[in-house]
């Protein structure tokens, strides 16, 4: 491991703590889910000064144009997507925040779940399964379809640990220590996994030697807000560094990542820009390549990720008020693009492009996405899950198409 990423991460962490008098609220690009969630009856006041319960019920229609997909015939399928519950509670300066999801294919996950202490209206400590402070938060895209950072564990990702947050009118700072990710059957977002923890039905034989797991991660994020007449821009930087423990060799490798991002709003327009650099440096046994690492999420096939790479993101959205469309009060048109450039010579880039529209008819909300993917395991089902790595399996190098309509009732 080089000293540069470690120094960058510690510098960012110390700078964030030193900037406590100046931070900015974390409200970046979060699509509204509900308005004024109801409080519980007064019978709950004995253990909570305030209690809010929310959630959603969502359904999905999906069409996929690749031959191995079961959603190609008959124009695609309509399926149950998710039902989830959000719970927030406060008692004096203590608070609780969690979201538990019931998803399709009998998947049950903790999207996040933490408790904490509020030092002041602007500063707090979160402990438990809290969001890692990295990149564009809380979502790295405008559409319903996640983009490449999400599949690399760098977007909307939680881990078990503790995080300090300070938010002010101009500056936002977050510093956290995370012992390890959530278990494979509990995590919401994909992350690194050992082959021993992956169900055989979701593990390609070529990935059986992968035995690395993240641990002891230090993360920091700093954001500065600038604004003028009709515009606002949020400029941010993040970094993380941690250990990669290999269960086979019982040795520790390392990993690190840094990023810069900018979120700008001017009138009805929003633009998100991001650049990410990351490195995984595992201590694998002889015969297991160090060029890629194994990732997995709950109930989905595992896949390999290039051990070293650079990611670029450009997302654009336009909001259109629709006072004459009855319950639909606003439409948001968007274009999300992301690209992974791999360090390994001969490994082709992975790309995703999503165009679509989101409609707001609260409490009903929906997204219509049209997504193209190239060298993406999630789009094309490439054997061995190598799209984000070597991209040398059947279907590599081809653009695949998927359409997705998601509609839900939010409360």
Q: How confident is the model at residue 34 (pLDDT cuts 50, 70, 90)?
A: very low
Residue 32 has pLDDT above 60, yes or no: no
* Dihedral, 192, 195, 196, 197 alpha carbons, nearest 10: 40
Task: Render pLDDT for 52-71 as a digit per residue (tens, 0 to 9).
Answer: 999 999 999 999 998 777 77
Task: Render pLDDT for 236-279 as a digit per residue (tens, 0 to 9).
Answer: 999 999 999 999 999 999 999 999 999 999 999 999 999 999 99
DSSP letters for 23-75: -----TT-----SSPPBPPGGGGGT-SEEEEEEEEEEEEEEE-STT-TTSGGG
Cis before 363? omega within 30 = yes
What's residue 73's pLDDT?
67
Question: CA nearest 173: which of 384, 12, 33, 313?
Answer: 12
**Surface-to-core class of residue 229, CB atoms within 10 Å of its CB (0-12 exposed, 13-18 middle, 19+ buried):** exposed
What's residue 354's pLDDT?
98
First-last CA distance in the chain: 47
Residue 316 has pLDDT above 90, yes or no: yes
Mean local confidence (pLDDT), 179-207: 90
Sheet strands side by side (includes 303-306): 191-192, 292-296, 303-306
Cis before 267? omega within 30 = no
Mean local confidence (pLDDT), 275-294: 96
What's residue 383's pLDDT?
80
Mean local confidence (pLDDT), 309-330: 97
The mean pLDDT of the chain is 89
Pairing mode of beta strands 303-306, 251-266: unpaired
Task: Render pLDDT for 89-132 as a digit per residue (tens, 0 to 9).
Answer: 999 999 999 999 999 989 999 999 999 999 999 999 999 999 99
Task: Render pLDDT for 342-364 as a digit per residue (tens, 0 to 9).
Answer: 999 999 999 999 999 999 999 99
Alpha-carbon distance of 129 to 345, in angstroms, equals 37
Residue 25 has pLDDT above 60, yes or no: no
Question: CA nearest 20: which of 121, 97, 113, 122?
Answer: 122
Q: How confident is the model at residue 72 (pLDDT cuts 50, 70, 90)?
A: low
Paired strand residues for 374: 351, 399
The dihedral built from the CA positions of residue 181, 186, 187 and 190, taken in this order, carries a sign that is positive
């Amino acid at each position: 491991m080089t000293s540069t990423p470690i120094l960058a991460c510690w510098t960012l962490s110390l700078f964030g703590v030193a900037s406590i008098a100046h931070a900015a609220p974390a409200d970046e690009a979060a699509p509204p889910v509900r308005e004024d969630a109801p409080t519980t009856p007064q019978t709950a006041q004995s253990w909570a000064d305030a209690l809010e319960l929310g959630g959603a019920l969502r359904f999905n229609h999906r069409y996929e144009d690749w031959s191995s997909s079961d959603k190609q015939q008959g124009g695609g399928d309509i399926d149950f997507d998710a039902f989830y519950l959000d719970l927030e509670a406060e008692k004096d300066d203590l608070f609780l925040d969690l979201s538990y999801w019931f998803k399709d294919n009998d998947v049950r996950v903790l999207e996040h779940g933490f408790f904490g202490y509020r030092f002041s209206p602007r500063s707090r400590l979160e402990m438990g399964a809290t969001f890692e402070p990295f990149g564009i938060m809380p979502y790295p895209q405008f559409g319903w379809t996640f983009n490449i950072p999400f599949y690399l564990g760098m977007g909307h990702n939680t881990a078990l640990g503790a995080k300090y947050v300070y938010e002010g009118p101009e500056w936002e700072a977050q510093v956290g220590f995370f012992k390890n990710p959530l278990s494979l059957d509990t995590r919401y977002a994909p992350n690194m996994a050992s082959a021993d923890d992956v169900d055989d039905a979701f593990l390609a034989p070529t990935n059986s030697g992968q035995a690395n797991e993240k641990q002891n991660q230090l993360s920091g994020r700093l954001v500065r807000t600038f604004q003028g007449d009709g515009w606002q821009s949020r400029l941010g930087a993040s970094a993380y560094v941690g250990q990669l423990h290999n269960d086979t060799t019982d040795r520790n490798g390392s990993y690190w990542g840094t990023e810069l991002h900018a979120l700008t709003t001017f009138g009805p327009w929003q633009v998100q820009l991001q650049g990410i650099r990351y490195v995984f440096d595992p201590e694998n046994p002889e015969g297991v390549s160090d060029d890629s690492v194994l990732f997995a999420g709950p109930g989905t096939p595992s896949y390999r990720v290039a051990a070293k790479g650079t990611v670029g993101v450009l997302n654009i959205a336009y909001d259109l008020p629709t006072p004459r469309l009855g319950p639909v009060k606003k439409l948001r048109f968007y274009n999300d693009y992301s690209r992974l450039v791999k360090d390994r010579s001969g490994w082709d880039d992975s790309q995703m492009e999503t165009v679509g529209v989101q409609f707001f008819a609260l409490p009903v909300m929906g997204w219509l996405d049209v997504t193209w993917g190239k060298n993406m395991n999630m789009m094309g089902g490439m054997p061995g899950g190598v799209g984000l790595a070597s991209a040398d399996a059947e279907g590599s190098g081809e653009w695949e198409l998927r359409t997705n309509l998601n509609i839900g009732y939010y409360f």
